[in-house]
Amino acid sequence: MPWKEETVEQQRTNFIVLANEEGCNFSALCRKFGITRKTGYKWLERNRQGERLGDQSRAPHFRPRQTPAEMEELILSVRMKHPTWGPRKILRYLVDRDNEGLPAASTVASILKRNGLVDPEQSACHTPFKRFQRDRPNDLWQMDFKGHFGMCDGNRCHPLTIKDDHSRELLCLDAYDNERWTSVKCSLDRVFRENGLPSSILCDNGAPWGNCKQGYTPFELWMMQMDVLPIHGRPLHPQTQGKEERFHRTLNEDVLKRIPIRDLIHAQEVFDAYRIEFNTERPHEALGLDVPEKHYRKSERTMPEQLTEPEYDTGRTLRKVNFKGYISVQRHRYYLSETLIDKYIELVPVGENILALCYGNFVIAKIDLTEELFVSRKICRR
């Protein structure tokens, strides 16, 4: 014989029937159903009032602090427009646009979760951590190519990005079909004329700014000629350019995953619009949820109209780089770079048997005269 299954409502109905029988022992009946006398009387009263015997919602009938539907719709509309923004960015965006009666960030988070707009795995990936930061705008810019991606026309796009380290201002987001020096120089020329010169620029060690053959690149020469220090991150340590790496992930999530890029022209149109949004609308966690535009100002160092070679004081020891990129010191040849052909290098003693090789305002290398080898090829200011 199969077991009979009863719902809670059916059990309560049976309880009411038995309780209304003549001569019923109410206390014994309550013990049989595993409830207290108080609960038994409650169900008798509900039955008398004609109410349902099933479980009723415990939610309050009136919620004085519930977010108004209009406000919830406004929050959701910002999230739909910017799917990668979290509660604090959304809240700051609405504050900056003079919206009143806004809820707390925790309430915004609850609204997003309640509407299925929070992915736990994606949320875990966005845990912030502290990075270094320069004290002033234009002290340091970071520059890199984001990994190339395919476009609808079958070609590939190589985005070049430049950011100010202090303000996170996105100074450049250019679409190219290559990663050559000519492309980089074109973008830098425009950015320098629009924003002035930084004190230094941080790049990785790859082409076109670095050179695996240890020779100095056209990029490094051009920077030194404009009195901008070229800095390279440690090999195999991409975290040195953490702000660039993080922005590339943001660009991928905000744009490339959501907009099919047709060709290079379309890519540049999308990039130009996003650069404005990133600098003027998107709140930034590291800036106390300000937008980068509020923290950036143009450099007072303007780009020179014409580059000139360094001038050295009379009596300095100089060597001219030969047609193969070498200089001769005490009958020994040292390779610098073919980029420096016909340039004059100053020789400056800096210690016992150590000689610094200087180009203008920069030390470009140090050599050990005893061992006849380089002890450093790192560019630094004199």
pLDDT at 15: 82
Give residue-wise pLDDT tens across range 121-147.
Answer: 555 445 444 456 778 999 999 999 998
Residue 2: per-residue pLDDT: 52
Q: Which of 224, 226, 232, 228 is nearest to 345 (CA)?
A: 224
**What pLDDT does residue 292 have?**
94
List, for residues 45-64, the tens digit of each pLDDT value: 888 877 776 666 665 655 55
Most confident of 5-9, 56-60, 224-228: 224-228
Q: Are 282 and 153 in the same domain?
A: yes
Residue 40 structural domain? 8-49
Residue 43 and residue 153 in one domain:
no
Q: How many structural domains is the chain composed of?
A: 4
What's residue 130's pLDDT? 47
User: Is 329 part of any domain?
Assistant: yes
CB 191 within 8 A of CB 185: no
The answer to whether residue 239 sits within a structural domain is yes
The model's confidence at residue 165, banded by pLDDT at 50, 70 and 90, is very high
What is residue 192's predicted lDDT score, i.e. its pLDDT?
97
Confidence tier at 275 by pLDDT (50, 70, 90): very high
For residue 124, what pLDDT is reported? 47
What pLDDT band is residue 3 in, cutting at 50, 70 and 90? low
Return phi, psi of residue 304, to 5°.
Answer: -70, 145
In a domain, 55, yes or no: no
**In angstroms, what is the C-alpha Rg of the chain?**
35
Examine the domain organization and report whether 121 and 161 are in the same domain.
no
> What is the distance between the alpha carbons of residues 177 and 361, in angstroms, rounded to a whole number?
35
- Output 54 or 196, whichever has higher pLDDT: 196
Q: Torsions phi, psi of 129, nearest 5? A: -145, 160
Q: Is 226 within 8 Å of 303 (Cβ atoms)?
A: yes
User: Residue 4: what pLDDT?
Assistant: 54
Among 295, 326, 354, the domain boundary falls at: 295
Average pLDDT over residues 192-208: 92
Confidence of residue 43 (pLDDT cuts 50, 70, 90): confident
Average pLDDT of the chain, as a whole number: 86
What's the pLDDT at 123? 57
Which tops the pLDDT comparison, 358 or 109?
358
Indicate whether 76 belongs to any domain.
Answer: yes
Q: Are residues 26 and 75 in the same domain?
A: no
The verdict on residue 1 lying in a domain is no
pLDDT value for 102: 86
CATH number at residue 176: 3.30.420.10
Please indicate, yes or no, whether residues 245 and 353 belong to a single structural domain of this protein: no
Q: Crossing angle of helices 105-114/69-81, nearest 10°?
A: 80
- The answer to whether residue 311 is domain-embedded is no
Residues 334 and 283 in one domain: no
- 167 and 281 assigned to the same domain: yes
In a domain, 105, yes or no: yes
Q: Per-residue pLDDT tens for 331-363?
A: 999 999 999 999 999 999 988 889 999 999 999
Q: 42 or 196: whose pLDDT is higher? A: 196
Last residue of a domain, one of 239, 261, 295: 295
Which pLDDT tens digit goes with each residue over 238-254?
Answer: 556 778 888 999 999 99
208 upstream amide cis, omega within 30 of 0: yes
Task: Say yes or no: 151 and 262 in one domain.
Answer: yes
Is 279 found in the same domain as 159?
Answer: yes
Average pLDDT over residues 288-302: 94
Position 235 scores a pLDDT of: 60
Of 140 and 237, the structure prediction assigns the larger pLDDT to 140
Q: Are residues 257 and 348 in the same domain?
A: no
pLDDT > 70 fraction of the chain, expressed in percent and rounded: 88
Is residue 64 assigned to a domain? Answer: no
- State yes or no: pLDDT of 228 exceeds 90: yes
Residues 114 and 258 in one domain: no
- If asked whether residues 93 and 172 sit together in one domain, one would say no
Which residues in 89-113 are b (16+ Cβ under 10 Å) and which e? bbbbbbeeeeeeebbebebbbebbe
Of 302, 292, 300, 304, nearest to 173 by C-alpha is 292
